[in-house]
Amino acid sequence: MEDEEWVLVRRTTEKDCWSSIFMDDDDNGENSRPLKITFNGPAKHWTDAIPIGNGRLGAMIWGGVALETLQLNEDTLWTGTPGNYTNPHAPEALSVVRKLVDNGQYADATTAAEKLSHNPSDVYQLLGDIKLEFDNSHLKYVEKSYHRELDLDTATARVKYSVGDVEYTREYFASNPNQVIATKISGSKSGSVSFTVYLDSKMHHYSYVKGENQIIMEGSCPGKRIPPKLNADDNPKGIQFTAILNLQISNSRGVVHVLDGRKLKVEGSDWAILLLVSSSSFDGPFTKPIDSKKDPTSDSLSALKSINNLSYTDLYAHHLDDYQSLFHRVSLQLSKSSKRVLGNERLHMKKHMANNNDLFFKRSEDDTVSTAERVKSFKTDEDPSLVELLFQYGRYLLISCSRPGTQVANLQGIWNKDIEPPWDGAQHLNINLQMNYWPALPCNLKECQDPLFEYISSLSINGSKTAKVNYEAKGWVAHQVSDIWAKTSPDRGQAVWALWPMGGAWLCTHLWEHYTYTMDKDFLKNKAYPLLEGCSLFLLDWLIEGRGGYLETNPSTSPEHMFIDPDGKPASVSYSSTMDMSIIKEVFSAIISAAEILGKNEDEIVQKVREAQPRLLPTRIARDGSIMEWAVDFEDPEIHHRHISHLFGLFPGHTITVEKTPDLCKAADHTLYKRGVLSTDSIY
pLDDT per residue as tens digits for the range 268-280:
999 999 999 999 9
- What number of residues does the chain have? 684
Of 332, 465, 414, 397, the C-alpha closest to 15 is: 332
The per-residue pLDDT for 476 is 98
Do 272 and 183 lie in one domain? The reply is: yes
pLDDT of residue 634: 97
Using CA atoms, how far apart are residues 153 and 329, in angstroms rounded to an integer? 11
User: Is residue 354 pLDDT above 50, yes or no?
Assistant: no
Task: Please give the tally of structural domains in the chain.
Answer: 2
What letter does residue 528 receive in the DSSP assignment? I
- 0.75 cut: is pTM over it? yes
Q: What is the mean pLDDT of residues 546-570?
A: 97
Q: What is the pLDDT of residue 367?
A: 56
343, pLDDT greater than 50: no
- Which tens digit of pLDDT belongs to each residue from 158-191? 999 999 999 999 999 999 999 999 999 999 999 9
9 pLDDT tier (thresholds 50, 70, 90): very low
Judge whether 157 lies within some domain. Answer: yes
**Whether residue 185 is found in the same domain as residue 309:** yes
The CATH number covering residue 487 comes to: 1.50.10.10
Say which residues have a Cβ less than 8 Å from residue 385's Cβ, sequence separation at least 6: 33, 334, 335, 338
Same-domain check for residues 108 and 136: no
What pLDDT score was predicted for residue 478? 98
pLDDT at 139 > cutoff 80: yes
Identify whether 446 is part of a domain. yes
d(CA 339, CA 505): 45
The answer on pLDDT for 256 being more than 50 is yes
The answer to whether residues 61 and 103 belong to one domain is no
Buried b (16+ CB within 10 A) or exposed e, 605-630: bbeebeebeeebbebebbeeebbbbb
pLDDT above 80 for 11: no
pLDDT of residue 351: 41
The band of 437, judged by pLDDT with boundaries at 50, 70 and 90, is: very high
CATH of the domain at 301: 2.70.98.50
Q: pLDDT (tens digit, 9 = 90+) per residue, 363-400?
A: 344 457 999 999 999 989 889 999 999 999 999 999 99
Is residue 79 within 8 Å of 222, Cβ to Cβ? yes
Strands 180-187 and 67-74 come out as unpaired
Quote the CA–CA distance of 131 and 133 in Å, as a whole number: 7
Does the residue 381 lie in any domain? no
Question: Same domain, yes or no, for 235 and 278?
Answer: yes
Q: Name residues whose C-beta falls within 8 Å of residue 459's C-beta, 6 or more positions apart in sequence.
A: 476, 478, 482, 486, 488, 504, 507
Element (H, E) at 338: helix 336-352
Q: What are 579-637's pLDDT values in tens digits? A: 999 999 999 999 999 999 999 999 999 999 999 999 999 999 999 999 999 999 999 99
167 and 68 assigned to the same domain: yes
At 677 the pLDDT is 73
Q: What is the pLDDT confidence band of residue 227, given thresholds at 50, 70 and 90?
A: low
Residue 496 falls within a domain, yes or no?
yes
Q: What angle do CA 224, 227, 231 make, to 5 degrees?
A: 70
From 274, 293, 322, give the residue that closes a domain: 322
| The pLDDT value given to residue 338 | 43
Residues 311 and 440 in one domain: no
234-246 average pLDDT score: 93
Residue 356 has pLDDT above 50, yes or no: no
Q: Residues near 568 by Cβ (< 8 Å), separated by ≥ 6?
A: none
pLDDT at residue 33, as a whole number:
80
Among 322, 337, 355, which residue terminates a domain? 322
Overall average pLDDT of the 105-116 stretch: 98
Residue 41 maps to a domain: yes
User: In this structure, are 508 and 545 located in the same domain?
Assistant: yes
What is the distance between the alpha carbons of residues 509 and 515, in angstroms, rounded to a whole number? 10
What confidence score (pLDDT) does residue 381 get? Answer: 87
**In angstroms, rounded to a whole number, what is the distance separating the alpha carbons of residues 416 and 426?**
11
R_g of the chain, CA atoms, integer Å: 28
Each residue's pLDDT tens digit, 406-416? 999 999 999 99
Mean pLDDT computed over 51-55: 98
pLDDT at residue 132, as a whole number? 98
- Residues 545-573 have a mean pLDDT of 97
**pLDDT above 90 covers what percent of the chain?**
86
Q: Which percentage of the chain shows pLDDT scores above 70?
A: 88
Specify whether 195 is located in the same domain as 260.
Answer: yes
Would residue 181 count as lying in a domain?
yes
193: in domain = yes
Query: Is 337's pLDDT higher than 70?
Result: no
- Whether 258 maps to a domain, the answer reads yes
Looking at 290, 322, 354, which one is the last position of a domain?
Answer: 322
Q: Which of 287, 288, 305, 248 is nearest to 271 (CA)?
A: 248
d(CA 303, CA 277): 7
Task: Please give the mean pLDDT across all residues of the chain.
Answer: 91
Rounded Cα–Cα distance for residues 35 and 385 (Å): 9
Residue 234 has pLDDT above 90, yes or no: no
pLDDT of residue 16: 53
Average pLDDT over residues 556-564: 97
Say yes or no: 107 and 149 in one domain: no
- Higher-confidence position of 43 and 3: 43
Q: How many Cα atoms within 13 Å fall on the side-chain side of residue 522?
A: 0
How far, in Å, CA of 186 to CA of 670, rounded?
58
Express each pLDDT in 473-498 by its tens digit.
999 999 999 999 999 999 999 999 99
Residues 129 and 113 in one domain: no
Query: Same structural domain for residues 117 and 136?
Result: no
pLDDT, position 341: 37
CA 81 to chain centre: 22
* pLDDT band, very low/low/confident/very high, at 346 (cuts 50, 70, 90): very low
Domain region containing 496: 90-121+427-620+630-637
